[in-house]
């Protein structure tokens, strides 16, 4: 067993009884090519994830240590994970949800168990838990509503995962609400400050609320977004309209208000740690890029991360 895997399992043993992030912990591990990009690096894998994604990471030298929690169908909003020991808890406040549906993967990274975890983003299912757990959460370009991606605390791992070798200086625009969402002032201000290294200019964007298209299953081009990306490399927003809610559910707020439009349009997007609110809870900055331009998201992560603390949950 590689030393890093042993360390990950030791950390998991400490935090798992409290956080409930894993559905299953593996007992056997694949052999590792020492010349591979991620040689011996432990990762967590979202339960129900596409096998091809997991196999691709294993081929890069990653060592899966277990399957993370997802919603179990017992909650109407399905915004958190659960295992036999209880609900998956946010490392920054145990009374709050980590978000979902990739709840366990976000918690596994935020709590320092693994440096990388996989996820599937269906409506913000990577970006929302990444924002609420204070880690990076990447959704890749996809022609379908659901896209694979990863969580990490290190932008350099995003670059390796994507094969990005050079960081650009992308141009950016800022919208606090995409023209329709109801966003808490504190969330918007913290995200806007975190975006400062990218020097975004405000854009008078007025998207139509994507709720109707989402529930009707309508995906495809978005003329308003095409216009934005005709003049800028990145569109920046808060990741979520508000902070993580309690385990009793979100109430009437739509937590995916700022994320699901980009599942319908297929654009790649990332949630970047933006800092902490007045309650000490993490806030996310969302960056959205042109199709196939995940490299610009890596650049956004690198350029903003130096100004924002990204720390694991304390022991």
Residue positions annotated with a catalytic role: 46, 101, 125
d(CA 147, CA 126): 9
Q: Within 13 Å and on the Cβ side, how many CA atoms surround 225?
A: 22
Beta bridge mates, 309:
none
Residues near 188 by beta carbon (within 8 Å), at least 6 away in sequence: 176, 177, 238
Residue 8 contacts residue 114 (beta carbons within 8 Å):
yes
- Could you list the beta-strand ranges (E) of the chain: 22-25, 41-46, 62-68, 82-83, 86-87, 116-121, 136-139, 147-152, 172-174, 201-202, 234-238, 269-276, 282-289
Q: Which of 172, 140, 173, 178 is nearest to 256 (CA)?
A: 178
- DSSP characters over 237-268: EES-SS---BTT--TT--TTTTTTHHHHH---
């Amino acid at each position: 067993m590689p030393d890093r895997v042993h360390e990950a399992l030791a950390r998991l043993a400490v935090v798992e009884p409290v956080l409930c992030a894993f559905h299953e912990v593996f007992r056997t591990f694949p052999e590792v090519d020492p010349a591979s990009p991620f040689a011996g690096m432990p990762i967590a894998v979202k339960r129900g994830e596409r096998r091809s994604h997991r196999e691709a990471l294993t081929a890069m030298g990653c060592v899966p240590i277990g399957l993370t929690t997802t919603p179990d169908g017992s909650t109407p909003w399905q915004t958190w994970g659960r295992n036999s020991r209880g609900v998956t808890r946010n490392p920054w406040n145990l009374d709050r949800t980590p978000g979902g549906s990739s709840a366990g993967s976000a918690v596994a990274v935020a709590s320092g168990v693994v440096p990388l975890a996989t996820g599937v983003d269906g409506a913000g299912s990577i970006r929302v838990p990444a924002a609420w757990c204070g880690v990076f959460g990447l959704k890749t370009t996809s022609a379908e509503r659901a896209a694979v991606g990863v969580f990490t605390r290190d932008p350099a791992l995003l670059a390796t995962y994507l094969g990005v070798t050079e960081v650009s200086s992308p141009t950016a625009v800022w919208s606090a609400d995409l023209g329709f969402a109801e966003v808490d002032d504190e969330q918007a201000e913290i995200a806007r400050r975190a975006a400062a290294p990218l020097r975004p200019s405000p854009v008078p964007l007025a998207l139509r609320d994507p709720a109707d298209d989402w529930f009707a299953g309508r995906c495809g081009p978005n003329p308003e977004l095409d216009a934005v990306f005709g003049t800028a490399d990145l569109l920046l927003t808060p990741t979520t309209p508000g902070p993580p809610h309690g385990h009793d559910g979100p109430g009437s707020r739509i937590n995916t208000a700022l994320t699901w439009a980009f599942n319908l349009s297929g654009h790649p997007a990332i949630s970047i740690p933006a800092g902490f609110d007045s309650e000490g809870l993490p806030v996310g900055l969302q960056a959205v890029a042109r199709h196939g331009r995940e490299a610009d998201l890596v650049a956004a992560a690198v350029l903003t991360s130096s100004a924002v603390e990204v720390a694991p949950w304390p022991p």
